Amino acid sequence: MQTQPFFDTGVDTRAAAKPDVLAPVNYITPGTRKPYAYEFDPPPGTPRRSASYRDQVVRIRNAREIDWRPCIDQHSFEMRYHRSRVQDFYDEAEIRRVYYPEIQQIVKEATGAKRVEIFDHTVRGNEQSVRGAVKIQEPASRVHNDYTPQSAIRRVHDIAPVEAERLLQYRVVEINVWRPISGPLQSFPLGLIDARTIHPHDLVATDLIYRDRIGEIYYVAHNPAHEWYYYPDMTPQEVLLLKCFDNDTTRAQFGAHAAFKDPNTPPDARARESIEVRAFAFLAPGA
């Protein structure tokens, strides 16, 4: 008996066509010093963020309506169709038992890697969204990329301390896999910049200060050359692959993304709920 395939590279095109939108996105304003951001309440008198950010209205194109298909190796993002077997995306044990292997398979198919290591995931929604013991983080509205070369390499050493030097001699790719938990998603969709339109000077390395460590990400400065895209009305059967690091300089190495307020969002739209899984693909022989 023929069954529905577990993984399908096709895109769900059932969502109704929508026009391009003009919407504000939140860019960093570059300064003379490396910026920082506390991921917890800072000491008294210390600003939570040292940099300033400003909204810039940009045109965000409907990626469903363009006549070419974005892919991670050229544009840093792509859409894939995947019907998950997860019953409850708020069940941590089920996420790790069922969803992690699904995401590993998606990333393997996208990169050709034999080995994929998932190291964390985030559930996002609005500040009131709570399901059981799971606190949902708000959508990330500042334009950013999750890793810099330094922080990506540091994370590889964290994941595979014994093998890191060998693995890094070959191609290593960090990919976030983003999915709406409910849909169609109409509130705070994800805006994506075509990596081909990002200049290295647009990327502002920023320290993220945690209680036990200091991480580093790229916030992004405005550049009129940036080309923005989004997928309106995403369903839980659709996933976005977001490339955040690639040590192969012949391919797109960094993208950028941000949640944005869609001016066409219905007033009664349900709050956005999504899950984002972060993974490294290792293409070393015998990895």
**Which residues are paired to 173 by β-bridges?**
246, 281
| Helix, coil or strand: residue 112 | coil
Domain boundaries, the chain: 21-282
DSSP state of 248: -
Residue type, 238: E
Q: Quickly state the pLDDT bin for 219 (edges 50, 70, 90).
A: very high
Q: What is the spatial distance between Cα 242 and Cα 240, in angstroms, rounded to a whole number?
A: 6
CB atoms within 10 A of CB 202: 22
In sequence order, what DSSP letters do the residues of 33-88 get, joined into one string?
Answer: S--EEESSPPSTT--SBSSEEEEEEEEEEETTSSSS---HHHHSEEEEE-----S-
> Is the pLDDT at 37 greater than 60, yes or no?
yes
Per-residue pLDDT at 127? 52
Q: What is the spatial distance between Cα 144 and Cα 175, in angstroms, rounded to a whole number?
A: 14
Per-residue pLDDT at 135? 59
Per-residue pLDDT at 138? 76
Give the mean model confidence (pLDDT) for residues 255-280.
94
Which tokens sit at 234? 């995403």
Q: Give residue-wise pLDDT tens across range 71-89.
A: 999 999 999 999 999 999 9
Q: Quickly state the pLDDT bin for 4 (edges 50, 70, 90).
A: very low
Q: Give residue-wise pLDDT tens across range 125-149.
A: 755 555 555 556 778 899 999 999 9
**Which residues are paired to 25 by β-bridges?**
56
Average the pLDDT over each of 4-13, 35-44, 79-88 and give the range with the smallest value. 4-13
Per-residue pLDDT at 136? 62
Closest CA to 222 of 81, 14, 27, 74: 27
Buried b (16+ CB within 10 A) or exposed e, 23-40: bebbbbeeeeeebbbbee
> Is the pLDDT at 113 greater than 60, yes or no?
yes
Which run of H or E residues covers position 134? Answer: strand 134-135
Per-residue pLDDT at 5? 33
Contacts of 269 (CB under 8 A, 6+ apart): 186, 187
> Is the pLDDT at 169 greater than 60, yes or no?
yes
**By CB neighbour count within 10 A (0-12 exposed, 13-18 middle, 19+ buried), where does 243 fall?**
buried
Q: What is the spatial distance between Cα 190 and Cα 224, in angstroms, rounded to a whole number?
A: 19
Per-residue pLDDT at 63? 96
